[in-house]
Structure formats: C-alpha cells, structure tokens
Structure 1
Amino acid sequence: MIDLEQQKIIFAHITKIMKNRIEVLENQRNIASYALAAKIASESGTKTLKKRINLRTICCIAICTIMASGSVIAITQLKSDEVVTPFKTRYMVENLNGDTVDTWKFWKIDAESTLVVNIVNSGIVDERKIKSIKDAILSTDKIIIDDSITHKGLGTSSTYFAGWRGALEESSMIKTEYAIPIKFKIIESESEIGNIIIKLSTLKDQDGYSGFTKSTVDGNEILKSQIIIYDADGISDEGLAAIVRHEFGHAIGLGHSTAPEDLMAPTINMQIPYISECDTDAVSQLYDGVAMDKTVCMK
C-alpha cells in the first residue's frame, strides 16, 4: 500500500513530466502512447497501428508504471496520420591506411576523460530536434517494457535506456579491462572539432540510408568517429533520436545486432527504438577486450 507521502511524490513527478512536455502537447487534443501502440500492434499482427489516448489515460499509465517498477515508460507523440517506418543505416571502420576493418574497436581512454561530441549544422533544425539529439546521448532515463511486445516472453519485462550515458553507466558497473566512456561534452560548432562529429544534412541519401557512421582507428583504438544524419530536417523528433542512438552505438564501437528488433540492427525497427540490455552487455564485453563483428542478443 502506498502511503500519502509516496502518492505526493508520485503525483509531483507526474506533474513535472507533463510540464516538460507542454510544448509538444500544445494545440493537440490527443497523443499516442508508442509503447502501448506497439504492444497492440504486436498482438493484432499488424505492421502499423495508430492509437489515440487522452491525457488522463497517459497519466494512469505513468502512475501505474511508477508504482510497479519505479520507472516511467517513455510515451512518444505520434500524429494521427503518422506511419512508423524503419530506418536503414550503415557504418564503416577504417584504419589509418584507409583499409576497412571488420572487428570491433573501442576508445582507449582513462576513466576521467571526456569525449567531445560536436553537432555540425545544428542551425538547419529547430531546438526540439537538437534536444532530441542531446537526450539520445545524455539521458539516464530507464524504460521498462513488457517482453511480450518483442515476443521474448510473457509475464517478464526488460529494461531499456533512452540515452547512451545511462546505458554506458550501466555497462561500466561491470569491471572491464578498458574504461568505458561515460562523460560527454556536447558542442555546436561548424568547425569539425571533437572526438565524435554528428553532421546534420538536409540531403537524402541516394541509397535510402538515414544514417552513416565512419570510425577511424589505429590498431584497436578508435581515434575519431563521424556520423551523418540524412534528411535531418524532415525526420520526426523521435525518428532523429532513434537514428542518433543507433549511430552513436557504432561511434563507441558496437557492430550491428543479430536481433532484428534491437536498436543496433542494420534496419532500425521503430517498435522499441531504445538501447537494450543486449547492447549494454555488448559494450561491457567490447571494453573487456572481446573482439567480434556483431552484437549477439540471446533474449
């Protein structure tokens, strides 16, 4: 039984969440719960489903989730006519001679080092999209999702992360041979300085890719990673965040996942576009010196 003080804390947290989302809720009577829509789509066997729920329903979902697990399932806004489509991505790892490298590489830094992430051409998108990019990197929010959505079990759930900082902090809880990067400084500069460059482009890739990451390495060490996001001004905030999460995974050294529903799969399935426990486990292995060319998800 939750006492009065706990209820006050819960409702204060809900109020804070709703205030943070007031900008995107303005002039909209209905918003969609992405997690709920994905679950219903999975159960009905349809590929795409649009579900409208009112604000009171969302509050109930959030409150119930907090009571059950202490975390809030992320609620993603969808327009009533929006169709969720997957994003194609690609990545490449080259050594200093320009030769393509197949195995994983990683950043060799000490535990106190900060990686500088530079968003280039930030002026071509609005502040909401810039915030989506930053959140995809810096957020520590955890998301609890029912495993039935991804057909991984009934009566069980999995933890996902909205941003890489939270995911990497989780990975770093396991002692590894090399320090896992957990400190990031995001800048917006037109000069391509920084360890990880995120270049926003208004162009559409001729092969239909939404994102591309190229890392330059020396031996096993990543020296620099460059990410290109195509059609950045034409992608939704949620879609942009998902692409950045995926490409940033490559930038820290991960390969593509064997699980088609995983964020690090070659094609991003927007059903659950968050960082999985499989990905955090893979980071721990990578920075403990395990070299593979793909992320293997067992669950």
Structure 2
Amino acid sequence: MLLKILTDQYYTIGYSYFVKYLLLSSAIIIAAITIPIESWAEYNHKWDELAAWKEVKNNEIQVLIIRDAGVSQKYTDIVEDTINSKDVINSGKKLFQGWNEGIRQISKSYSVTIPTLHVQSKLDTQDSIIIYLMDKIDNEGYDGYTNLHYDKNGNIKKAFVKIFNVNELNENQLKTIVRHELGHALGLGHTNEKNDLMQPIIDMRYTAISLLDLQALVRIY
C-alpha cells in the first residue's frame, strides 16, 4: 500500500543530490538524479562523499532544534532521541539508535577523535547543526534536506537540516529521516551498501546506525 511520498534532498557546494522517495509498507523506492562527487571504497562499500568537520570546541558540535508553532514539543524530543539514545541492537550485527553512543563506542574501539553532538537551547557559535521541524509541505514535495557549508579548507563548518510536514510522520519515519539527515550533517554521503541507513534508497527495515556508517566516520577522522 502506498502511504505517502518521502523525499530527501542533499546539497553540497558545487554538487548536489536530488532524491525522491516513494514510501511503501516496508521499503522506499527511489526516483533520483545524482551528480557524483568524490568516491571512497573499502570492502567494496563506496561512499559518494566523506567530509570532516572543522575543529570544534570541546570536540562537540552544537545542535539547535527549532520548530514551527504548529509542531508539538514531542517531535523535538523524538529528534533528541536520535542523537542521545543509548539503545543498541545486537541482532547479528551491532546497530545504534543514537548517533552519540555509536560515535563514542567506535571512537574508543579505533582510538580516534570523532566529534559528538550536543543539543543546546541556544547557540553560542555558528559552527553548528540547526534542525528545523516544519509543519509546512515543501513546494517541490520534499520531506527534508541537509545543506552543508564548508570553510576554505573544505571542512564542514555548519549544517542546516529541514524536515517538512512533520505532523504527518509517525515516530519511526521521523527518526529514520532525521538519523539519515544527521549522517549527512556529520559528513557522510550515500553508500552503495543496500542494507544500510545511508543508502540512497531508504528501506524501512534498516533504520538504525550501523558499524559501516561509524567506520566511515573513523576513515574521515
């Protein structure tokens, strides 16, 4: 049964992805125009972009979640859970519900320093991720996009994530979209691994953060 149209638009300076999803009962079918960027492959897994953040204070990227007046506070709490949840699924492979827990564990395992995300009620720096939860429908039919800004050295200095029509998403859909978009905000592009959160075609059976995603962050840092 066709539920609704989901979309994801990912911008980078000079290159762009324009992606539309059709959400079915268990999978999202894609219709996309892709302009390739740089590629990196290991163990046959390719990423169309990997980019590091500039150095940030206390190795924390500040995150501000804002919302339209018509969007309930409960959606802000759901978004925070995609950042701070400590839940880990062990079903043959380790899967993380929150980005910070995954980053902490992979950083310890590989002895690398990957910045974590710190949700703030207000920002004291421009080097941040802003997540805007909107009750409006995007004119082009997109549910969300991530816009990345880079410094002169090619490092990310700011990310702006918009999620449209939030009130029409259920909790699992919202969490999946936000996890995916935060992956972009952290510096991950799309992977060619079919059973992964960061694949261009989002399959609702694969909604958590994988070791593949986290190992790509290790590669960056």
Scaled by the length of structure 2, the TM-score of the pair is: 0.75
Paired residue for 1:159, among 82, 94, 105? Answer: 94
RMSD: 2.7
After the TM superposition, which parts of structure 1 deviate over 4 Å for at least 4 consecutive aligned residues?
83-86
Q: Matched residues in 2 for 1:122 and 1:139: separation?
A: 24
Shift of 1:259: 2.1
Please say which of residues 107-116 and 271-280 is displaced more in the overlay: 107-116
2:60: which partner in 1?
114
Shift of 1:122: 5.5
Structure with greater contact order relative to length (CA < 8 Å, sep ≥ 6): 2
1:226 aligns with 2:160: yes
Q: Matched residues in 2 for 1:111 and 1:100: separation?
A: 29
Q: Matched residues in 2 for 1:126 and 1:158: separation?
A: 34
8 Å CA contact 1:118, 1:187 repeated in 2 = yes
8 Å CA contact 2:56, 2:127 repeated in 1 = no
Q: Matched residues in 1 for 2:180 and 2:73: separation?
A: 21
For residue 148 of structure 2, give the secondary structure of its aligned residue in structure 1.
Answer: strand
Please say which of residues 229-238 and 110-119 is displaced more in the overlay: 110-119
Count how many residue pairs are aligned between Structure 1 and Structure 2: 188
Give the structure with the larger strand fraction.
2
8 Å CA contact 2:82, 2:179 repeated in 1 = yes
For residue 112 of structure 1, give the secondary structure of its aligned residue in structure 2.
Answer: helix
Structure 2 residue runs without a partner (length 5+): 17-36, 39-49
1:171: which partner in 2?
106
What amino acid sits opposite 1:158 in the alignment?
Answer: K
Q: Matched residues in 2 for 1:267 and 1:203: separation?
A: 24
Deviations 1:38-85 (A, max 9, x none): xxxxxxxxxx7xxxxxxxxxxxxxxxxxxxxxxxxxxxxxxxxxx777
1:14: which partner in 2?
none
Shift of 1:258: 0.8
1:198: which partner in 2?
131
What amino acid sits opposite 1:280 in the alignment?
Answer: L
1:278 aligns with 2:212: yes
Paired residue for 2:15, among 95, 100, 104? Answer: 100
Structure 1 residue runs without a partner (length 5+): 1-47, 49-82, 146-156, 288-299
